[in-house]
Structure 1
Amino acid sequence: MENRSCVIDFMLAAFPMTLVMRALFFSFLLIIHIVTLSGNFLILLTVWKSHSLHTPMYYFLVNLSILDICFTSSIIPKFLTILASENRSISFQGCLTQCYFYFLLGSVELLLLAVMAFDRYTAVCHPLRYTTVMTSDFCLYLTVGCWLAGFADTIIPTFLIINLCFCGSNVIDHFFCDAEHLLKLACYDTRIIHIVNICCSFVIVFGSLVCIMISYGCIILAIIKTSKVGRRWKSSSTCVSHLLVVVIIYGSSLFLCMRGITLAAIDISKLSAFMTGIVTPLLSPFI
């Protein structure tokens, strides 16, 4: 048997940039991070201070803002460190932690969007039963269920990756520790782990998407059947913002399936991850 020494730290390749471009991108990314945190914290403060907003819709919106804060904070600080100091190294434990929380928070966010679609479905299609269905306890159960499902979905691939040995190159061709790029550096055949990772992602992404499509299918039918123009407009307006967030998140997530395709020497997966992890949390508070 060949002796192999396992890699204990990794290097994040990020984006190839000159010194001037790195300084400009650092300033740009720092402003994005500050605006993202400020916008989401403002939502939390507004809902907390206004008792009229203590409703299920804004309860889920608060949870979405908390997820966006944690989600973007799981990758931007290290990215800023790389741009500022050119220190691209990250320990194996730090890499695995970043990878786990990125996909955990992403999975919970997709599930929460499905729950928010169900909330809108109940409000539009069953308005008289809304207060009896969407009780505070039920909303809490739905939120906890999202976290438990996200934890169960990401713990299996993480457990498989943590027992791997990485040898040879320690350069991860990404700006954060992405599981797919990490598996390429393993010493062993990782096809089974790759399949497990895809299956777990498939369950969360398409499971939540099906729930959202069914909910909005019923909402559209209910709006069409409504004869009053005012009620049609009110029903539509309460769903538009949520639909915009869904389109942005799922649109960027679809590009993650296009791994291996390059555009102007930049991996599509980097651009889609940048959209999902940095741009989407920035746009959500404005939407």
Structure 2
Amino acid sequence: MGVLSLIRKSFGQDSMGSMKTAVSMGTGNDTRVTEFVLIGFTLNPHLQTTVFALFLLIYLLSLFGNLVIIALTLLDYRFHTPMYFFLSNLAFLDIWFISSTVPKMLVNLVTKNKTISFIGCILQMYFYLAMGSMEFFMVAIMSVDRYVAICQPLRYNIIMNRRSCVLMMLGCWIGGFLDFILPTFMVFQLSFCGPNAVNHFFCDNSALVRLACSATQKLELMFFSIASLVILSTLLLTIISYAYIVVTILRIPSASGRKKAFSTCASHFTVVTIVFGSCIFIYVRPAESSSLDLTKGVALLNSVITPFLNPFIYTLRNKKVMDVLKKIMSKGSPVES
């Protein structure tokens, strides 16, 4: 509760009216924004150092936890399984996901210069959205992996072979990068000639589009449609997978067998709840009904806290992983071949 209270205090009244607009003069009376100002969180000066230290610690721990997963998967044959192959891809994604927002946020917390270039803002928005899509795809594929492991155990190695796993991951990466190319290009074509203060801690598409001088209804509908399609389709696949998993587990005669089967899905289900819950709140609803201050808090959970928690929820609390880490620290040799 202390951390949540601290974060809650970070939200204050925005001073958008006092922000200066950075523009360049074009032909005639044409003006164009050349940079944006990220308002971020309005902080009490006494809290600024504490909040900076908190998010720096979260960022460093996230990098450490996700790098541990990647290293173990690459170096130890015991983790050369489909589940850990997917986890290592998710860990690699989470490193880039959290790095797309947190470093700039940390700089803004300790400097008076909160500006970001026009191109930099568009790129940050695109990579945040693309990697968010990839996260949904990977979480859905991991639910399918759990379905096959529990409901089709005798065919698991046949279905989840190396080729199929690689193809599924390629689909996640390529699909994520392609999803938001068109709307990002359309944002790039918008006219920004007025205020340049983005009411967010990063270049979120909803906060950015609101600053445009040109009509944005079609673009907002496109963002809404793509986000809804990605989130709801992957959520449906996850729900169907878990429905079959629950039915199969309930048919297991022994209580210990049911408990063991449920435990293999508990970590994934926790992440599913956080990832889908936060993003449905942010994107799958009309823009008019959204409070940007509340949206910033949920975006913080999705883009910062989730990549931080994933390695601990999935792997670092896993007995098998902890045993290997203890062996590494005691003997200094992680690899078994």
TM-score by length of 2: 0.81
Residues 1:13 and 2:54 aligned together: no
Residues 1:200 and 2:229 aligned together: no
Distance across 2 between alignment mates of 1:277 and 1:86: 23
Distance across 2 between alignment mates of 1:146 and 1:177: 23
1:27 corresponds in structure 2 to 53
TM superposition shift of 1:195: 0.2
1:140 corresponds in structure 2 to 166
Equivalences for residues 234-253 of structure 1 within 5 A = 234-253=260-279
Equivalences for residues 149-168 of structure 1 within 5 A = 149-168=175-194
Distance across 2 between alignment mates of 1:174 and 1:157: 19
2:29 corresponds in structure 1 to 3
Equivalences for residues 79-228 of structure 1 within 5 A = 79-228=105-254
Query: Matched residue of 1:6: which SS?
Result: strand
Distance across 1 between alignment mates of 2:169 and 2:195: 41
Does the aligned pair in 1 maintain the 2:231–2:280 contact within 8 Å? no
Distance across 1 between alignment mates of 2:258 and 2:182: 45
Query: Given the alignment, which residue of 36, 58, 62 partners 2:88?
Result: 62
Query: Matched residue of 1:175: which SS?
Result: coil
Distance across 1 between alignment mates of 2:233 and 2:192: 33
Instruction: Indicate the larger mover: 227-236 or 130-139.
Output: 227-236
Query: Between Structure 1 and Structure 2, how many residues are aligned?
Result: 284
Q: Deviations over 1:116-173 (max 9, x none)?
A: 0000000100000000000111000000111222122111211111111201100000
Q: Deviations over 1:71-103 (max 9, x none)?
A: 000000000010011211000110011000001
1:281 corresponds in structure 2 to 307
TM superposition shift of 1:280: 0.9
2:24 corresponds in structure 1 to none
Does the aligned pair in 1 maintain the 2:36–2:198 contact within 8 Å? yes
Distance across 1 between alignment mates of 2:280 and 2:227: 12
Query: Quick one: percent identity of the two aligned structures?
Result: 39
Distance across 1 between alignment mates of 2:73 and 2:175: 26
The alignment yields a C-alpha RMSD, in angstroms, of 1.5
Does the aligned pair in 2 maintain the 1:255–1:268 contact within 8 Å? no
TM-score by length of 1: 0.95
Gaps spanning 5+ residues in structure 1: where?
none
TM superposition shift of 1:2: 8.2
